[in-house]
Amino acid sequence: MARYFMRLSYRGAPFHGWQTQPGAVTVQQTLEEAMARVLRLPACPVTGAGRTDAGVNARLMVAHFDMPEGDGFDPRGLVRALNSIVGPDIAVHSIEEVPADMHARFSATARTYRYFALPEKDAFMHPLVWRAPATLDYEAMNRAAALLLETEDFTSFAKLHSDAKTNICHVTRARWMEWEAFDGTRGMVFEITADRFLRNMVRAVVGTLVEVGRGKMTVEGFGDVIRRRDRCAAGTSMPGHALYLWDVRYD
């Protein structure tokens, strides 16, 4: 069998997350059904680099699948065929063969998420960003975010009763930065990079940082939330529509 990596992007609003689940439309399910139809196979399993939650977007998702060797498989033709039937909210960008031991999830060395915020109402961007209060203290939020680089146990930001075997993650970047929308509107974006992420982790981190920005929690209080290892101590999860899986890196 030959292994292939697929690079794609999607808008999360129409989907109940990445992972296939009963009674829900997901990105993985949509892709697998389209591939089975194009390739005329009973099934074509696709494994993603991660599992985005319902409504969460992906600027870049990487997934792998296997095909029999020497059957005249045409990756570029599959890209064109998939884009014609997966619908407007998924875009397949490339498919290329990789070494057989490469794994979309386990071979990834780092993942980056971004959370976009605008302080003004924007008729074009509102479904894709969070409408943020204009008075948020981003300097304090960045001081608090810096504590994440010194943290290993992210239990305080993990979804309760998840199937994760460990809550240990290694964050290498966590910072709010300025960004500009295509119409000139200026906002802020939170970027966080780690070797792995827990379910709901980024949305919980951002929600707790917003508590700092609103003055409802101090930077020291944010550190205390981390040390308590208690999800109930952290802030509420932010809406998923402003969160993006931004990049996935491999050696």
53 a catalytic residue = yes
Pairing of strands 2-10, 57-67: antiparallel
Helices and strands in the chain, H and E counts: 5, 9
Quote the tokens at residue 218.
């101090």
Hunting for tokens 């929308």 — which residue is that?
A: 181
pLDDT of residue 161: 64
Which residues belong to CATH 3.30.70.580 in the chain?
2-98
According to DSSP, residue 101 is labeled: T
Q: What fold, for 2-98?
A: Alpha-Beta Plaits (3.30.70)
- pLDDT the model gives residue 162: 67
Q: Are 200 and 159 in contact (CB under 8 A)?
A: yes
Does this model's pTM top 0.75? My answer is yes
Q: Which of 53, 183, 195, 247 is catalytic?
A: 53
pLDDT of amino acid 182: 80
Mean pLDDT in each 10-residue stretch from start to end of the chain (251 residues)? 97 97 96 96 95 96 93 92 98 97 98 96 91 96 98 92 83 97 88 96 98 98 97 95 98 88
Distance CA 56, CA 132 (A): 18
pLDDT the model gives residue 124: 87
Residue with tokens 């981390």: 226
Every domain of the chain with CATH number 3.30.70.660 lies at: 110-250
**CATH architecture for residues 110-250:** 2-Layer Sandwich (3.30)
Name the residue among 116, 76, 115 with its Cα closest to residue 97: 76
